Amino acid sequence: MTQQTPASRCGFRIAARGLNDVATLAAIVVVLAGTAWILPSALGYERYVITGGSMSGTFEKGSVVFTQPVAEEDLEVGDVVTYVPPASSGVTTLVTHRIHDIRTRNGVLSFRTKGDANPDPDPWRFSLDADTQPVVAFDVPLVGHALIALADRDTRVLIIGLPAGAVALLALAELVKALRGGSTRPADSAVPVRTVATGV
């Protein structure tokens, strides 16, 4: 029967400890990420990932901006808003740009925006369909890259699968260790017994 040497047992313990540390760290990261994802919503913020460069210098690509709703009448030139441009613009995705000017016509407010990195204002005007408009309150740089990556199914499987695989490997290693430990014990181990002669 093959027996483990002290060196191999030491290496096994180091590897097992390393896997355990990786699994623990991954669990901590998942918990922190989940908290960071849920907490802003609980506080009334919406989040959007900046995927273009039109606001470069203010918000770089990959930043996450957090918005809060502001009443239409409280919007001001200089506010950065996130909205869907009018259908006639041909733009079907959300845009995060700064309000360039505000006009009132027949009691209806209309807005024009501009990207900070763009030389000219956007070629469209728009009015709000709701009483409030999301206005950027603050941003967190770079985090959006991780969120963009997590939008990919294969990436999500990899991120979730690696910690799960590490935990499974650690459990398997512990099982193998227990089985080997049991098989290497002497089959007929006995406790020495001292015979004591008693006088009659």
pLDDT digits 0-9 by tens, 49-91: 999 999 999 999 999 999 999 999 999 999 999 999 999 999 9
- Smallest CA-to-CA distance from 4 within 185, 189, 188, 190 is with 185
Q: Whole-model pTM above 0.85?
A: no
- 68: part of which helix (H) or strand (E)? strand 64-71
The angle that helices 6-42 and 153-183 make with each other, rounded to 10 degrees, is 150
- 3-class state of residue 121 by DSSP: coil
- Smallest CA-to-CA distance from 161 within 26, 34, 19 is with 26
Distances (CA, A) of 19 to 120, 142, 161, 192, 194: 54, 28, 14, 41, 47
- Measured between alpha carbons, how far is 143 from 96 in angstroms, rounded to an integer? 17
- Measured between alpha carbons, how far is 151 from 63 in angstroms, rounded to an integer? 15
In this structure, are residues 127 and 108 in contact, taking their beta carbons and an 8 Å threshold?
A: yes
Distances (CA, A) of 45 to 24, 51, 149: 30, 19, 22
pLDDT at 10: 59
Q: Tell which wins on pLDDT, 63 or 146.
A: 63
Cβ neighbors of 119 (< 8 A, separation 6 or more) are none
pLDDT at 32: 73
Q: Tell which wins on pLDDT, 170 or 134.
A: 134
Tokens 């089959």 — which residue?
187
Give the pLDDT confidence of 102-125 residue by residue, as tens digits.
Answer: 999 999 999 999 999 999 999 999
